[in-house]
Amino acid sequence: MNIVDLHVHSNKSDGSMSPTELVHYALEKGLTAFALTDHDTSDGIEEALKAAEGTGLTVIPGIEFSCEYEGKDIHIVGLYIDYNSDFFKRRLTAFVNGRITRNKEMCKRLTKHGMPVTYEELLAEFPDCVITRAHYARYLLNHGYTKSLKEAFERYIGDRCPCFVPRKKITPMRAVEIILKAGGVPILAHPMLYGMGNAKLEKLIQELKQIGLVGIEAIYSTHTPSDERQIRSLAKKYDLLLSGGSDFHGSAKPGLDLATGYGKLFIPEEILILIQEKHALMKAHPELLKKTKIFFTDLDGTLLNSKRQISSYTKEVLDAWCSAGHKLVLCSGRDINSVKDVKKELSLDYPGMYLIGYNGGQIWDCDQNKSIYKISLKPHQILYIMEKAKERGIHIQTYTDTHILSPEDNEQLQYYKKVIKTPAKITTSEKEFAESNACKCLAIKVGGHEDLEAFRISMSEWADREEITMLYSNPHYLEFFPSASGKGTAVRQLCKQLDIPTAFSVAAGDAENDLSMIEAAGMGIAMINGSDDIKFAATTITESDNDHDGLAKALYDLI
């Protein structure tokens, strides 16, 4: 019986054999086919294909993406990828550039903290290595900056330490999408290695199936008979093809052999034949892979440039996004009328558009021209916030469905009105404020961030009791809104109403009030000009800022 191996590594990632050596070894072992699935690279495929010419051995172009899901490393194998497609090349280039950018930034931070090092010096000290934090720790120890590797991590490069820059890993859902778009067959690799527990593993499989997962690796070197039975059962339940692989790395994994694993592995060719048939069907009917996505974007600092406009290229990408049948949502801390004004000024008139205002407090359906969701502060909360702001001499305002409500017309309100066109109503009537049904209150102190911070601290205990969130949309603006609100809540709420899985949602932002949105979406895009917290939470960081089409370039390959 013919045998195959659909999970193999070369020295182009972390294996010990060259692609050519792998071909020769596969022939020696009597394989009819193997998939070269190096980590996050396709560099070895051409060499392997050339080495296999005229031998009767089939080399399947593949890849293994390293992903992150709920704090765990998850791997997605792609088989039959079009590794020469422009799209796929761009994605791999982005991964490489992301690693380089992260490493250079860590070097800058170490230098700033009195431990000078350049990226080039790191590469010279650790040639032919994929640089990790372990290499930084070794460098610091070798050069006398720390007394141990442990100290390097605890003081400088551990999570949340001053010189650490998180490595941006894609989600497994995004990996599945990339593989599908590159014409490949996505497979969940070695599912029993993740130690997730049955419920969490099944949840992951459900989410991946929604995106388009095609197969699961049931036959694997370390799987017990019980493991294999469990994965076969899940494959049947979720209509997934079976796959199998040794995860061969050569001498890098002693005792684990090609095709036979630790001696008992056997992957029949019938497994591959079913995958080939599915691949042919997918190529013949690409419409089966089409999924509707929804894109939530912040305005200032994200979609808009510093002149509060969008470039012609950004407009082109939004046109393409909506023409593909995807949905666009403009999100802001502004009142909903102001978001409508922005939509009109930017000439964004797409079917199926939605607006989110008040940091998630209200959702507006543009097609129906009506509010479909709103969550407001309670009357006594509004009055208390206004009373305490007045005691500290801080301008406070709130909103009705049509107006800004302000107790006085002062320079703080006029500063706000330079950008916001919503009409203001000046009133001292507590009844009007209490009955405004406002989604938020906004404290403004231009040039007085220290005063705002003191105000925030003074209100913290009360806000916790009342379940009110306080956050800055910029250094001059402190916002108060129900904790049950927030942009993240709005993302989940709208996805639920539209019956779009959150895995198909994308969110982009740059500031503190975008954090919950970034965390709630299936994919979070942080602007390179954004805050550190946003960058830490996001799944990707743009390569350029909001004045240089950073968002559009990141969104383009998601269409």
Domains, the chain, in order of start with CATH, read: 4-83+182-289 (3.20.20.140), 99-157 (1.10.150), 294-374+487-556 (3.40.50.1000), 379-482 (3.30.1240.10)
Q: pLDDT at position 168, please?
A: 67
Query: What tokens does 286 get?
Result: 């690409």
Q: pLDDT at position 20, please?
A: 97
Q: pLDDT at position 128, please?
A: 66
Q: Residue 277 in contact with residue 285, Cβ under 8 Å?
A: no
> Residue 307, Cβ neighbours under 10 Å: how many?
8
- B/e letters for 442-462, b = 16+ CB within 10 Å, e = fewer, are bbbbeebeeebeebbeebeee
Q: pLDDT at position 165, please?
A: 80
Q: Residue 496 in contact with residue 538, Cβ under 8 Å?
A: no
Inter-CA distances, 198 with 184, 201, 203, 219, 231, Å: 28, 5, 9, 18, 10
SS3 149: helix
Q: pLDDT at position 127, please?
A: 78
- What phi, psi does 403 have (nearest 5°)? -135, 160
Query: What is the distance between the alpha carbons of residues 215 and 240, in angstroms, rounded to a whole number?
Result: 5
Q: pLDDT at position 132, please?
A: 72
User: What would the 3-class secondary structure string for 359-397 be?
Assistant: HHCEEEECCCCEEEEECCCCHHHHHHHHHHHHHCCCEEE
Give, for 125, the enclosing helix (H) or strand (E). Answer: helix 119-125
Q: Residue 10 in contact with residue 48, Cβ under 8 Å?
A: yes
Q: Residue 183 in contact with residue 82, Cβ under 8 Å?
A: yes
Per-residue model confidence as pLDDT tens for the chain (559 residues): 799 999 999 988 878 899 999 999 999 999 999 999 998 889 999 999 999 999 999 999 999 998 888 878 899 999 999 999 998 998 888 777 777 878 888 999 999 999 999 999 988 988 766 677 778 888 999 999 999 989 998 999 987 789 988 766 788 998 999 999 999 999 999 999 999 999 999 999 999 999 999 999 999 999 999 999 999 999 999 999 999 999 999 988 899 999 999 999 999 999 999 999 999 999 999 887 888 999 999 999 999 999 999 999 999 999 999 999 999 999 998 899 999 999 999 999 999 999 999 999 999 999 999 999 999 999 999 999 999 999 999 999 999 989 999 999 999 999 999 989 899 999 999 999 999 999 999 999 998 899 999 999 999 999 999 999 999 988 999 999 999 998 999 999 999 999 998 889 999 999 988 999 999 998 899 999 998 888 878 888 888 999 999 999 999 989 8
